[in-house]
Amino acid sequence: MNIKTPHPKKRLGQHFLIDKSVVRRIVAAAGIAPDELVVEIGPGTGALTEGLLEAGTRVIAIETDAGLAAHLKAKFVNAVSTGRLEIIAADALKVSFIDICKAAGTKAKAVSNLPYNISGPIMTRLINERSAFSLMVLMLQKEVAERLVAKPGSKAYGILSILSQLHADINMEFNLPPSVFFPQPKVESSVVRLVPLAAPRVPVPDEAFFRKVVVSSFSTRRKTLPNSLKPLGIAPAGVKAAIVGCNIDPGRRGETLSLEEWGKLASALKAVEGANRASLN
């Protein structure tokens, strides 16, 4: 049966993987074993899907493009009919990966060529729902991959770096040129491997407050810590005392703090916030 391949849509950030050798490298990086469950986000025309199925895994593919979802169902009709492939026609930013894996009765590996236009937001969502996954092997823009592994003081270091490194071991596997995609993107791509941690890498008071502290600091990246943390609503004297109490120079900016320093500072600020609340009661 001759199945016509849909054209890529620029508005959806679609760049279809066309190099089978790259597919093999991604599957190898994921250490796919037969009968494992894989969640694939943005399967496109199914190049990676095919490689995953050939490795013997079960695949749940999430595709927001209705035309591509229909194409995949036709292309892999046998895998769909035998239950080895499930196509979910939905926006990956709106589905619950935790619910998907609960329904399947097992954790999954996330193995995907992420759509360029949602790679940042989808990475945040994957980290937030990391309990659904035993492993993630993801292809994304090199710039986003560099943010995941960035060190303090570097231009790429930011919110995504800190939250990702708090919750996962991350490794850059390999880089890819534009020529392995159609249409060719204007930037290089990278494949990263993330192993979710059972507990945060450093102690944090609570994850919501930790995130609030980090986001507050990076929303005004060039300001020093006492100024960038004003949105927390904690008295300036309390903020400064927390910073100094952690042996951090108040003249530093958030972009220079290590993950360990962020954990200590968030805990100290949480204690100050709690003391302030208690004094008002």
Q: Percentage of the chain with pLDDT > 70?
A: 93
**Number of folded domains in the chain?**
2
Q: Which of 146, 170, 196 is the last residue of a domain?
A: 196
In the block, which residue shows the tokens 């899907």?
Answer: 49
- Tell whether 253 and 115 lie within a shared domain: no
Q: Do 247 and 175 belong to one domain?
A: no
What CATH number is attached to the domain comprising 234? Answer: 1.10.8.100
How confident is the model over 223-271, as pLDDT tens digits? 999 999 999 999 999 999 999 999 999 999 999 999 999 999 999 999 9
Q: Are 190 and 246 contained in the same domain?
A: no
On whether residue 239 sits in a domain, the answer given is yes
Cβ pair 135, 30 in contact under 8 A = yes
Boundary (domain end) residue, out of 173, 196, 219:
196
Residue 3 domain-assigned? no
Do 187 and 63 have their domain in common? yes
Q: Do 57 and 143 share a structural domain?
A: yes
The confidence band for 182, taking pLDDT boundaries of 50, 70 and 90, is: confident
Q: Which of 18, 11, 9 is nearest to 117 (CA)?
A: 11
Same domain, 138 and 174: yes
CATH of the domain at 55: 3.40.50.150
Is residue 2 in some structural domain? Answer: no
In a domain, 201, yes or no: no
Range of the domain at 171: 10-196
Adjacent-strand bridge partners of 110: 39, 136
What's the CA gap between 98 and 64, in Å, rounded?
A: 18
The last residue of one of the domains, among 169, 196, 223, is 196
Shared-domain flag, residues 173 and 239 = no
| pTM score, whole prediction | 0.92
For position 161, what pLDDT does the model report?
98
Residues 47 and 152 in one domain: yes
5 falls within a domain: no
pLDDT value for 281? 46
Residues 136 and 213 in one domain: no
Evaluate whether residue 4 is within a structural domain: no
168 and 230 both lie in a single domain: no
| pLDDT band at residue 185 using 50, 70 and 90 as cut-offs | confident
